[in-house]
Amino acid sequence: MRAVVTGGAGFIGSHFCGRLLEAGYGDVVCVDNFVTGSPENVAHLMRHEGFRLVGCDVTHGLEVEGPVDAVLHFASPASPVDYLRHPLATLRVGAEGTRHALELAAAHGARFVLASTSETYGDPQVHPQPESYWGNVNPVGPRSCYDEAKRYAEALTMAYRRSRGADTGIVRIFNTFGPRMRPGDGRVVPTLIRQALEGAPMTVTGDGSQTRSLCFVDDLVDGVLRMLSASIGGPVNLGNPHEVTMLELAHWIRRLTGSRSEIVMVPLPTDDPKRRRPDISLARRELGWEPWTSVEDGLLRTIEWFADRRERVSSLTDVPAPASHRSGLAVS
């Protein structure tokens, strides 16, 4: 079995590449332009003879010679810090990057899975969010480059499924955390852990009452793998229904790290969702999936990973410089 993973050197993509090799895929092609991903995330896989890392921007093309059994499209900035810094690139990878990945899958008769997001629900007015909810997205706000890119990617994926009979699936990923997150990527868990370990003020946006539902990365990857093996089109929510306020999360992380950091409030970003919790009834029924790692256990494992790498934090906080990626990929 041979799989192509776009965005494979990113946080979730790198974990998924490893899981595919463990699941028996003999050849995993990891594609990344390293705008937010890093070769370091997959360095431990390089000794595996079936793993290949290719620097490429999929918005310019994606061609792979030989058999392809699965295409997993994870490529996209996913943190607000990143997609606000790269709004046009985010829109392009959601549009042209998705189209090229779909074309590759369709040409080879491969199963295609799109990594979409809970951000397609925007600032939801329905709680918890089922897949049938159409969302409440500001199409012209600063976050729209990511939200609308993923919504378009979903529409494109369904168009290929309906009009061309492509074997496609969509997963909507809710807030996921774990090892290999960049300390400076702006998402709440790495930000609070980094601040707590450094003894710096721990920043909570707004009044801290807004909620998120946090899923440990190992659990999320298992859900994606089950979607890859299924035949349903989705979308299917993948996330942890355990809902926590941001202020509660800050106190939780401070306790687990033993930090004495002060918790301070900062302004709430524009269009920041007030509540976020997945309805995972469909995932339970169709995939037999639900998360098994408690949030606390996941936080402890993530804190341990960050603590072990504190000496390298300063070199990881900046977004890696993109590699040359003017052309698409042709792999034999």
Spatial separation of the C-alpha atoms in residues 243 and 36, rounded to whole Å:
27
Cβ neighbors of 265 (< 8 A, separation 6 or more) are: 203, 204, 205, 206, 207, 208
Cβ contact 177:216 at 8 Å: yes
Residue 157 contacts residue 96 (beta carbons within 8 Å): no
In the block, residue with structure tokens 């707004």? 206
Torsion-angle region of 66 (φ positive above 0: left; ψ -120 to 50: alpha; else: beta): left
Q: Which residue among 25, 83, 146, 160 is the active-site one?
A: 146
Output the six-digit token pair for 310: 């504190």
- Let me know: does 52 contact 331? Beta carbons within 8 Å: yes
Maximum CA extent, the chain: 58
Query: Is 146 an annotated catalytic residue?
Result: yes
DSSP character string of 275-317: ---B--HHIIIII-----S-HHHHHHHHHHHHHHTGGGHHHHS
129 — phi, psi (to 5°)?
-95, 115
The amino acid at residue 258 is G
Q: How far apart are CA 108 and CA 321, in angstroms?
A: 32
Burial of 290 (0-12, 13-18, 19+ CB in 10 A): middle
Name the residues annotated as catalytic: 146
